[in-house]
């Protein structure tokens, strides 16, 4: 059975560094037989700007968000794939807002019983991957932290490909050493 990989690309640029890294990672994963779906989160239609903290998802039996927009089926797919990839450029020492819109709504994929002090999620045991690039070599450690903590809390395996000094948008296309690293990383993610 081929591994299923869902990539959430948080860049608003169609041909920038993040899109290029996603392309190279996907090539590596597909070369190992993986099924890869890429979702460009900047172009989804949303009814809210992230999680509204309505907590209605906690009252449902299913793990789903109650906000009916284009993010809802993406969240549902996270529960059905083997590998979830979040790809983003570094924006002010964090992920892009376009990725955070979906990342924050992952809240709906958890069920907490505060009285019993328990949490369940269909994400447990999956592989959670972060792909990120930065213009220079500052800030990727700060960006990585919420993704690594989410993986640890959820008991997912965490892997990351962090590319400092990627240059301006699109510059990465000329860096063959990074291409090789991203393709290899995609193969290993499978």
Show me where the domains of the chain are located: 4-189
**Which of 127, 168, 158, 162 has its CA nearest to residue 141?**
162
Number of neighbouring beta carbons within 10 Å of residue 183: 18
**Which of 110, 87, 107 has its CA nearest to residue 98?**
87
The string of pLDDT tens digits covering residues 135-187 is 988 899 999 999 999 999 999 999 999 999 887 888 889 888 999 999 999 99
pTM more than 0.85: yes
Query: Mind giving me the DSSP string for 107-155?
Result: GGG-EEETTTTEEE-TTTT-EEEEEEE-SSSSSHHHHHHHHHHHHHHHT
What pLDDT score does 61 carry? 92
Assigned CATH class of 4-189: alpha beta
The rounded Cα 179 to chain-centroid distance in angstroms is 19
Assigned token pair, 104: 């924050």
- pLDDT score of 3 more than 90: yes
Beta bridge partners of 7: 38, 85
Secondary-structure percent of the chain, ordered helix, strand, coil, rounded to 5? 40, 20, 40
């Amino acid at each position: 059975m081929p591994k299923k990989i869902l990539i959430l690309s948080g860049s608003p640029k169609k041909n920038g560094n993040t899109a290029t890294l996603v392309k190279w990672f996907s090539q590596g994963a597909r070369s190992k037989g993986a099924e890869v779906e890429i979702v460009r989160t900047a172009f989804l239609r949303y009814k809210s700007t992230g999680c509204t903290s309505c907590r209605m998802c906690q009252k449902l039996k299913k793990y789903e968000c109650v906000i009916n927009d284009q993010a809802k089926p993406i969240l549902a797919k996270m529960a059905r794939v083997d590998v979830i990839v979040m790809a983003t450029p570094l924006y002010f020492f964090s992920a892009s807002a376009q990725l955070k819109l979906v990342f924050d709504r992952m809240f709906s994929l958890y069920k907490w019983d505060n009285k019993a002090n328990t949490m369940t999620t269909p994400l447990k045991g999956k592989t959670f991957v972060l792909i990120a690039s930065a213009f220079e070599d500052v800030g990727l450690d700060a960006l990585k932290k919420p993704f690594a903590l989410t993986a640890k809390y959820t008991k997912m395996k965490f892997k990351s490909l962090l590319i400092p000094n990627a240059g301006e948008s699109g510059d990465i296309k000329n860096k063959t050493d990074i291409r090789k690293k991203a393709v290899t990383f995609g193969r290993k993610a499978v």
